[in-house]
């Protein structure tokens, strides 16, 4: 382990991995600061470019984008009341109020420091728990994995959207898409419809590019941004954040970061939910809850640290169990597999030096975010001058090229276009897309592990209960599922009838 | 005079989007979603049962038919719940900003995207991409472009596809389509 650790740190400190991670960080901050562009879109369309790079360079680049984009969204949220990414939505409440009070600089500085704090704390948790958890996960076999995949899938379907029924429909449709192709155990053909290309299943990356990038372009055609950002006045002036201002937030930062880390480690939730939960709990615990919404530094610190803490935390289930924490980590799994590295408990023994190099890059980019963030705040007025129409047209072309380049196959382009059409229809009908994507990835693994377990037990389903780890996980899962159903049934009827109201 | 005044009033109303558009309500959308998913679920069930081979019970979880059947059943049940919920809803509210949305233009953009996806194989990646960038940018702005915007658009439309080809060819050894079919 120590040899892997030292090799990994030395690898992270070499020129190309460091340059790629920093380049990704800068790109991520820029992308996050442009409303409409998110980490998932950028990571998906740039994934094929990383195939020719060594693992630490390619994956380090994508991790830099992910990290930068979640922070970058806070800059327009504070300055223009327009969150760059959904993860910055809670930041805009108090951030923009502070800007209107002439305290934009304080809000921007606190948001940057809170992001770095949250990210660093969660990175330390990741480094601390990943190897021990992987050692525990080595004891898992098919029944344990089956219960874990089932629990993740149910969690993603029920919690990640606003509407339980639509979440289940989305995950169900994703699971069906995941069934397309040859069955992994008996090679039975499923949903092939005499189309030979479908034998290999539906490729995930072109599907994600279509559902996120293309549908975003189409959405912007229907609903152009309400605010012309290039004409918006940007003022980053005002008093600076004092040391005492920051120190007053320490307790709040620890609490919000812990919330973000916990939520990030659960599959399917991510920064969009963590920022609101951290904000809400911070308000409940605050001595001055009335200030929330009208320019509270506590609100900015809670939302930003909570959202950014999810970034390293989503890597915990992905690296240890191969379960994506959100859409970005679903794409990252593709990046790992393309590099010949399969996420799972054997990761540390088989590719320890690569994983430690990536951990070191996460810490280094965290330190770098302080400087990159400061430059980004000063240069924000330049970023928003990029004409939106031109940017979106370029995304269309790059998306198509990226989808084609994966296998040099027109079938991938067809999947991408179909994904774009499905994405816009799903968004129009308020059906959450993340459960769909994650189910495409997880459902085949769930099916495989369930069938392997039943093969082990000669068809006896009690195997899931009689083994201590899978039994405990199953009890926990049933308790959680019962709670979700109880909450749904006990909710006021009006909120269940049409949730979109 | 009165007619002219009336017509100009109608014209200005249309220009300002003041004429209410017929927009779908949440109830209608949820019903449509439920119908689509119910059809998908039923079709998947039928297809799965047809592929069930070797006399194996499709309900035995050890076989390849069980999981798709279970998922299809969940989809159908969830569709029924959604449909019932929508039918019991008394709201007639429409989609919040549907009045401002330009759905016709989105349909056109979707068609452009699909045609572009096919055109790169027939016309080649570079020309098809250049045209797609221009058309999509015009659809996205929806207003006359300024001189500098036209200049940037022309530069990007001409150079970006070439840059992509170079990057992909050099680093990924991917040869982008040059035309003439698949």
Tokens 């990414």 — which residue? A85
Buried b (16+ CB within 10 A) or exposed e, A15-43: eebbebbbbbbbbbbbbbbbbbbbbbbbb
Q: Which residues of A272-297 are buried (b: 16+ CB within 10 A; e: fewer)?
A: bbbbbbbbbbbbeebeeeebbeebbb
A-B contacts (CB, under 8 Å): 202
**Residue that has been written with the tokens 């996960």 in this structure:** A137
Cross-strand pairs, A190: A181
Region at A194 (left for phi over 0; alpha for psi -120 to 50; beta for the rest): left
Beta strands A181-182 and A189-190: pairing type? antiparallel
Are A169 and B89 a contacting pair at CB < 8 A? no
The Cα A476–Cα A168 span in angstroms is: 20
CB distance A393–B47 less than 8 Å?
A: no
- Alpha-carbon span A179 to A196, nearest angstrom: 15
**pLDDT given at position A218:** 85
Under DSSP, is residue A275 helix (H, G, I), strand (E, B) or coil?
A: helix
Q: A289: closest CA among A428, A93, A425, A501? A: A93
Is B21 an interface residue toward A (CB < 8 Å)?
A: no
Q: How far is A132 from chain B (nearest CA, A)?
A: 33
- How distant is the Cα of B44 from the closest Cα of chain A, in angstroms? 8
B113 and chain A: CB distance < 8 Å anywhere? yes
pLDDT given for residue B102 in this prediction: 65
The number of angstroms, rounded, from the C-alpha of A155 to the middle of its chain's C-alpha atoms is: 15
What is the pLDDT at residue A101? Answer: 86
Instruction: Give the span between the Cα atoms of A62 and A59, in whole angstroms.
Output: 5
pLDDT the model gives residue A226: 60
Nearest CA in chain A to B153: A390
Residue A146 binned pLDDT confidence (cut-offs 50, 70, 90): very high
SS3 per residue for A259-287? HHHHHHHCCCCCHHHHHHHHHHHHHHHCC
CB contacts of A414 in chain B (<8 Å) are 117
Shortest CA gap B6–chain A (Å): 30
User: What range does the domain containing A257 cover?
Assistant: 2-226+240-497
Residue with token string 């001595």: A287
Residue A20 to residue A454: CA distance in whole angstroms: 45
Nearest-10 Cα torsion for B75, A187, A404, A425: -10
A498: which chain B residues are within 8 Å (Cβ-Cβ)? 26-27, 30, 85-86, 89, 91
Judged by CB atoms closer than 8 Å, whether chains meet at A397 and B149 is answered as no
> Confidence band (pLDDT; 50, 70, 90) for A500?
very low
**A232 within some domain:** no
Would the CB atoms of B89 and A498 count as touching at under 8 Å? Answer: yes
B156 contacts A401? CB cut-off 8 A: no
Q: A227 CB near a chain B CB, below 8 Å?
A: no
Instruction: Give the model confidence (pLDDT) of A429-455 as tens digits.
Output: 889 888 999 899 899 999 999 999 998
For helices A327-338 and A39-46, give the axis angle rounded to 10 degrees.
Answer: 20
Name the residue in chain B with its Cα closest to that of A167: B78
Chain A residues inside the 8 Å CB shell of B61: 450-451, 454, 461
Assess whether pLDDT exceeds 80 at residue A209: yes
Shortest CA gap A363–chain B (Å): 29
Mean pLDDT, residues A22-31: 92
Q: Using alpha carbons only, what angle is made at residue A431 by residues A486 and B47, rounded to the nearest 5 degrees? A: 95
Q: What whole-number distance in Å separates Cα of residue A210 and Cα of residue A419?
A: 4
Q: What is the pLDDT along chain B (182 residues), one digit of tens a residue?
A: 444 444 444 444 444 444 445 566 777 888 999 999 999 999 999 888 887 655 667 777 788 889 999 999 999 999 999 999 888 876 655 554 455 556 677 788 888 888 988 888 888 899 999 999 999 888 888 777 788 888 888 999 999 999 988 888 887 777 888 877 66
User: Using CB atoms, which residue from A189, A223, A390 is nearest to B101?
Assistant: A223
Q: Of the candidates A130, A84, A112, which has an alpha carbon nearest to the alpha carbon of residue A261?
A: A130
ipTM over cut 0.90: no
The answer to whether the CB of A437 falls within 8 A of the CB of A208 is yes
| Predicted TM-score of the model (pTM) | 0.86
pLDDT of residue B14: 42
Contact across the interface for A404 and B177, Cβ inside 8 Å:
yes
Q: What pLDDT shows up at residue B42?
A: 95
Contacts of B63 in chain A (CB under 8 A): 186
Q: What is the mean pLDDT of residues A364-381?
A: 89
Q: What is the pLDDT of residues A454-496, one digit of tens each?
A: 988 888 889 998 998 889 988 988 887 788 778 777 766 555 4
The angle that helices A15-33 and A55-72 make with each other, rounded to 10 degrees, is 30
Q: Are A500 and B26 in contact (CB under 8 A)?
A: yes
Lowest mean pLDDT among A66-75, A125-134, A212-221: A212-221
**Which ranges constitute the DSSP H helices of A384-459?**
388-407, 410-428, 434-456
pLDDT digits (tens, 9 = 90+) for A250-277: 999 999 999 999 988 887 777 888 898 9
The greatest distance separating any two alpha carbons of chain A, rounded to the nearest whole angstrom, comes to: 71
CB of A225 less than 8 A from some CB of B: no
Average pLDDT over residues A22-34: 91
Gap between the terminal Cα atoms of chain B: 62
**DSSP string computed for B14-50:** HHTT-SPP---BHHHHHHHHHHHHHHHHHHHHHHHHH
Task: Find, among A470, A440, A483, the residue nearest to A148 by Cα.
Answer: A470
Indicate if the alpha-carbon torsion angle A131, A132, A138, A143 is positive or negative.
negative
Name the strand (E) or helix (H) holding A181.
strand A181-182
- Count the Cβ atoms, other than its own, within 10 Å of residue B60: 11
Chain B partners of A431 at a C-beta cutoff of 8 Å? 33
B47 part of contact set with chain A, CB < 8 Å: yes
* Contact (CB<8Å) B133/A417: no
The residue to which tokens 């994506």 are assigned: A324
A320 CB-side CA count, 13 A: 28
- Mutation target to probe the A interface, by most A beta carbons within 10 A, among B38, B137, B149 is B137
Determine whether A238 is exposed, middle or buried from the number of CB atoms within 10 Å of its CB (0-12, 13-18, 19+): middle
**CB distance from B23 to chain A under 8 Å?**
no
Which CA distances in Å does B155 have to A86, B113, B160, B163, B168?
32, 21, 8, 12, 20
pLDDT of residue B12: 44
CA angle at A279 for the pair A43 and A430, rounded to the nearest 5°: 55
Q: What is the largest CA-CA distance in chain B?
A: 82
B-chain residue closest to A412, CA distance: B117
Whole-number mean pLDDT of chain A?
A: 87
- What sign has the CA pseudo-torsion B169, B173, B179, B180? positive
The dihedral of CA A423, A425, A428, A430: what is its sign? negative
Is the Cβ pair B62, A454 closer than 8 Å? yes
Please tell me whether residue A286 adopts helix, strand or coil conformation: coil
- Cα–Cα distance for residue pair A487/A48, rounded to 1 Å: 42
pLDDT at A377 over 70: yes
A233 domain-assigned: no
Q: Is B98 on the interface with A (CB under 8 A)?
A: no
Asked if B109 and A218 come within 8 Å (Cβ–Cβ), the reply is: yes
CA distance A369 to A377: 12
Nearest Cα residue to A258 out of A282, A288, A291: A282
Contacts of B138 (CB under 8 A, 6+ apart): A389, B145
Tally of domains in chain A: 1
B50 contacts in chain A (CB < 8 Å):
none
**Mean pLDDT for the stretch of residues A278-287:** 90
Choosing among B59, B117, B163, which should be mutated to test the A contact, i.e. which has the most A CBs within 10 A?
B117
Q: Which residues pair with B25 in a beta bridge?
A: B94
Domain-located, residue A492: yes
Tell me the pLDDT tens digit for each residue of A343-355: 888 888 888 899 9
Q: Please report whether residue A235 resides in a domain.
A: no
Number of Cβ atoms within 10 Å of the Cβ of B94: 18
Shortest Cα distance, chain A CAs vs residue B4, angstroms: 33
Closest CA of chain B from A123, distance in Å: 32
Q: What are phi and psi of A108, to 5 degrees?
A: -65, -40
> Which residues from chain B sit within 8 angstroms of residue A496, using beta carbons?
85
At residue A266, the 3 state secondary structure works out as coil
Q: How many CA atoms lie within 13 A of A226 on its CB side?
A: 7
Q: Which residue of B has its CA nearest to A210?
A: B113
Q: Find residues 452-491 of chain A whose CB sits inside 8 Å of chain B.
A: 454-455, 459, 461
Give the nearest partner residue to A221 out of B72, B102, B168, using CB atoms: B102
* Residue of B72, B64, B18 whose CA lies nearest to B45: B72
Contacts of A454 in chain B (CB under 8 A): 61-62
A217 and chain B: CB distance < 8 Å anywhere? yes
Write the residue in A217, A401, A446 that is nearest to B164 by C-beta.
Answer: A401
Give the A window 314-373 contacts with B, CB below 8 Å.
none
Please identify which residue in the block is written with the tokens 């979640």. Answer: A70
Using DSSP's 3-state secondary structure scheme, residue A190 falls into: strand
Task: Give the pLDDT confidence score for residue A83 in this predicted structure.
Answer: 84
Any bridge partners for residue A350, and if so which? none
* Percent helix, percent strand, percent coil in chain B, to nearest 5: 70, 0, 30
CA gap A112, A88 in Å, rounded: 12
Q: Chain A: nearest CA to B7, how far in angstroms?
A: 28
**Which residue among B71, B140, B177 sits closest to A176, beta carbon to beta carbon?**
B71
């Amino acid at each position: 382990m120590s040899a892997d650790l030292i090799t990994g740190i030395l690898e992270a400190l070499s020129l190309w991995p460091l340059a790629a991670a920093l380049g990704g960080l800068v790109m991520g901050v820029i992308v996050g600061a442009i409303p409409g562009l998110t980490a998932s879109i950028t990571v998906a369309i740039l994934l094929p470019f990383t195939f020719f790079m060594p693992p630490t360079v390619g994956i380090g680049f994508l991790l830099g984008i992910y990290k930068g984009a979640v922070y970058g969204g806070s800059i327009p949220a504070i300055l223009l009341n327009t969150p760059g990414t959904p993860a910055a939505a809670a930041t805009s409440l108090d951030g923009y109020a502070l800007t209107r009070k002439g305290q934009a600089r304080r809000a921007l500085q606190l948001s940057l420091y809170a992001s770095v704090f949250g990210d660093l704390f969660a990175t330390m948790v990741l480094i601390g728990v990943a190897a021990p958890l992987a050692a525990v996960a080595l004891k898992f076999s098919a029944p344990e994995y089956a219960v874990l995949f089932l629990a993740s899938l149910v969690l993603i379907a029920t919690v990640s959207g606003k509407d339980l029924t639509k979440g289940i429909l989305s995950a169900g449709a994703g699971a069906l898409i995941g069934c397309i192709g040859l069955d992994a155990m008996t090679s039975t053909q499923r949903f092939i419809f005499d189309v030979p290309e479908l034998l290999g299943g539906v490729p995930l990356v072109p599907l994600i590019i279509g559902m996120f990038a293309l549908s975003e372009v189409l959405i912007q055609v229907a609903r152009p941004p309400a605010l012309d950002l290039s004409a918006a006045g940007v003022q980053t002036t005002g008093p600076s954040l004092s040391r005492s201002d920051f120190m007053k937030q320490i307790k709040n930062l620890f609490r919000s970061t812990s919330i973000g880390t916990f939520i990030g480690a659960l599959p399917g939730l991510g920064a969009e939910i963590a920022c609101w939960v951290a904000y809400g709990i911070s308000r409940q615990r605050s001595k001055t809850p009335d200030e929330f919404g009208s320019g509270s530094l506590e609100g900015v610190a809670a939302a930003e640290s909570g959202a950014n803490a999810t970034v390293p935390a989503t890597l915990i289930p992905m690296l240890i169990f191969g379960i994506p924490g959100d859409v970005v980590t679903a794409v990252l799994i593709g990046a790992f597999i393309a590099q010949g590295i399969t996420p799972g408990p054997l990761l540390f023994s088989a590719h320890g030096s690569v994983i430690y190099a990536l951990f070191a890059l996460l810490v280094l980019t965290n330190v770098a975010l302080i400087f990159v963030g400061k430059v980004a705040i000063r240069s924000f007025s330049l970023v928003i001058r990029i004409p939106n129409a031109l940017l979106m047209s370029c995304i269309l072309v790059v998306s198509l090229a990226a989808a084609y380049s994966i296998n040099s196959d027109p079938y991938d382009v067809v999947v991408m276009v179909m994904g774009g059409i499905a994405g816009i229809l799903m968004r129009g009908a308020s059906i959450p897309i993340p459960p769909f994507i994650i189910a495409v990835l997880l459902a085949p693994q769930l099916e495989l592990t369930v069938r392997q377990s039943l093969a082990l037990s000669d068809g006896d389903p009690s195997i899931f209960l009689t083994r201590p780890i899978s039994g405990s996980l199953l009890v926990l899962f049933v308790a959680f599922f019962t709670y979700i159903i109880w909450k749904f049934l006990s909710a006021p009827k009006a909120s269940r009838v049409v949730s979109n109201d | 005079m009165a007619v002219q005044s009336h017509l100009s009033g109608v014209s200005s109303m249309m220009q300002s989007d003041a004429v209410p558009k017929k927009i779908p309500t949440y109830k209608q959308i949820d019903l449509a979603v439920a119908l689509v998913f119910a059809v998908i679920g039923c079709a998947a069930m039928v297809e799965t049962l047809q592929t069930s081979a070797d006399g194996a019970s499709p309900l035995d979880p050890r076989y390849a038919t069980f999981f798709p059947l279970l998922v299809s059943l969940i989809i159908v049940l969830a569709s029924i719940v959604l449909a019932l919920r929508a039918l019991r809803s008394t709201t007639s509210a429409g989609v919040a900003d549907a009045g401002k949305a330009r759905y016709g233009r989105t349909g056109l953009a979707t068609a452009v995207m699909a045609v572009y996806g096919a055109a790169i194989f027939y016309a080649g990646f570079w020309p098809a991409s250049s045209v797609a960038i221009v058309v999509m940018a015009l659809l996205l702005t929806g207003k006359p472009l300024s001189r500098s915007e036209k200049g940037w658009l022309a530069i990007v439309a001409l150079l970006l596809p070439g840059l992509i080809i170079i990057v992909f060819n050099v680093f990924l050894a991917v040869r982008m389509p040059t035309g003439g079919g698949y």
